[in-house]
Structures are given as C-alpha cells and as structure tokens.
Amino acid sequence: MAKARTGRPGVSASPEQQERRETGPLTRRGHARRAALLDAARRVFEEKGFMETRVTDIAAEANVAQGTFYTYFDSKDAIFQAVATRVAGEVIVELGSSNPQGAATYERTYASMKRFIDSYRRNAKILALIEQVGTFTPEMKQIRLQVREAGVERMTRIIEHHQAEGLADDTIDANLTAEALGSMVDQIAHVWFNLGKEFDEQEMLHALTLVWLRGAAIYDQKVAGQAAEA
C-alpha cells in the first residue's frame, strides 16, 4: 500500500526511534558498534576534515550500513561532538597527569613543554577541527575553551605556588600571566602542527621554556645565569 515516506526532511523521527539514540545502546553488541563508529569517525574526520566527511564515509569505515549510523547518532554534528568531547577529555587528562609540584626548574619546565607539544601533535588534527567547527557551534567553542582552561589553570597554580614560596615576583597577576603564557604554547603548537610551519623541536622548546620562566617572573638560576652572562 503506502510506500514508506522515507527520508522526508521536515518530518522528524518518531519519538520511539529517537529514544534509543538518547538512551544509548542496550546490549553489549550495541556498545561495541557505537565504539566502532566513534573510532571510525575519528579516523575519517582526521583524514578528510569536517566538511568533507560524509556520513556514508563513517559508516563505510565502520563497516556498517548507513542506517546503522543513525541508530547511534543523530547526525554528523552529533558524532563529531562525541569525538571531540572524547579527545578533549584525553588531552585534559594528559596535561593534568604530570606532576607540577616542586620548583619550576628549567628542566622540569622543559619536560612539561615537551609533554604538551607531544600531546598536541598527536591530537592536532582533531583539535584543529574543534576550532573550525567551533566557528559555527557554540558547544564546540565551549569544549575548545575547556581544553584551554585546563592548561591555563594548571599554569596559574604553578605561578601562585612559586609566588607563595617567594620564588616568583608576586606583584604580577598569576592568572592573566598564565592566560598569556598558555596562549603562547597553544598557538605555537597550532602554527606548527596545523598550519605546517616548521620548527626545530629542541630550539623551540628551549625558547618556549625560557620565555615561560621569564614571563612568569620565576627566579631560576639558569635563566638568571643566562641573563647575567649577557
């Protein structure tokens, strides 16, 4: 009789169909599929970018039919948000896992920089996409800011710690300084890995470390020594 009125835009899915998408998969197999789709999506997004990625591509990469995609995700935007949230979470965890205690010596700061740069490099593509998609979606802007915030907060705590210990100029605003220095590292990584400008890793890490310590007004012998030699 009546053929299916399939794919008619403007007619939204019946509530019952959407429920599963909201509830999440119920069976073990369902969970596996969802995860497979997420992984596939990450790979395709990294390869093709957001706009060039088609839902078809993701489904194909995950070896499922197109319709299956919609069992788990509402739309391309939705799965991107899921991927982005996961990556953002990972990056935040990676940054926070390091031990920021003790004095910020040149070596420690250098190691910290290296850790950030490595983490960024690994996730550069997705981070860039978050940035790009953030242009049209407020949610992505939030995620982008959260990643940033994690880094900035950590820097703020380090600076405050040094100020409290008398190891840093305590007349400066720790938070704003951290905002500035965090931005510096963030942007260098972006220019490096996303815009494709090439830097020598060691030299760049050295430069960042020096500027960071000086900018944070931390009294460090090596830095001071360098200044003294001048």
Partner DNA sequence: AATGAATGAGAGTTCATTCAT
Partner DNA sequence: CATGAATGAACTCTCATTCAT
| Closest distance to its own copies from the beta carbon of 159 (Å) | 11
How many CA atoms lie within 13 Å of 142's alpha carbon, on the beta-carbon side? 5
Closer residue to DNA in complex, CB, 12/171: 12
When CB distances are held under 5 to 8 angstroms depending on the partner's kind, the choice from its own copies, DNA, none that residue 100 binds is: none
Q: Are 119 and 177 in contact (CB under 8 A)?
A: no
Q: Does 4 bind DNA (CB under 7 A)?
A: yes
DSSP labels for 2-27? PPP-TT-TTSPPPHHHHHHHHH---S
In whole angstroms, the minimum distance from the beta carbon of 35 to its own copies comes to 21
Choosing from 148, 157, 160, 161, the residue that interacts with its own copies (CB under 8 A) is 148
Determine what percent of the chain falls in helix, strand and coil, rounding each to the nearest 5.
Answer: 75, 0, 25
187 binds its own copies (CB under 8 A): yes
The amino acid at 226: Q
In SS3 terms, 25-61 reads as CCCHHHHHHHHHHHHHHHHHHHHHHHHHCCHHHHHHH
- The token duo for 118 is 């490595």
In this complex, which beta carbon is closest to DNA, that of residue 3 or of residue 198?
3
- Interior/surface letters 75-111, b for 16+ CB within 10 angstroms, e for the rest: ebeebbbbbbeebbeebbebbeeeeeeeebbbebbbe
Within 8 A by CB and 6+ apart from 201, the residues are 117
Size of interface with DNA, in residues (CB under 7 A): 37
55 binds DNA (CB under 7 A): yes
Tell me if 97 contacts DNA by CB under 7 A. no
Does residue number 63 form part of the binding site for its own copies (CB under 8 A)? no
Nearer to its own copies, 99 or 198 (CB): 198
Residues 12-41 that bind DNA (CB under 7 A): 12-14, 17, 20, 25-27, 29-30, 33
Identify which of residues 92 and 168 has a Cβ nearer to its own copies in the complex: 168
Among 35, 48, 75, 197, interactor with DNA by CB under 7 A: 75
Chosen residue from 27, 28, 196, 198 binding its own copies by CB under 8 A? 196
Decide which of its own copies, DNA, none touches 35; Cβ closer than 5 to 8 Å per partner kind.
none
43 and 94 in contact (C-beta within 8 Å)? Answer: no
Q: Where are the alpha helices (DSSP H) in 62-103?
A: 66-72, 76-97
- The residue from 39, 46, 49, 68 that contacts DNA (CB under 7 A) is 68
Which residues contact DNA (rule: CB under 7 A)?
Answer: 3-14, 17, 20, 25-27, 29-30, 33, 53-56, 64-72, 74-77
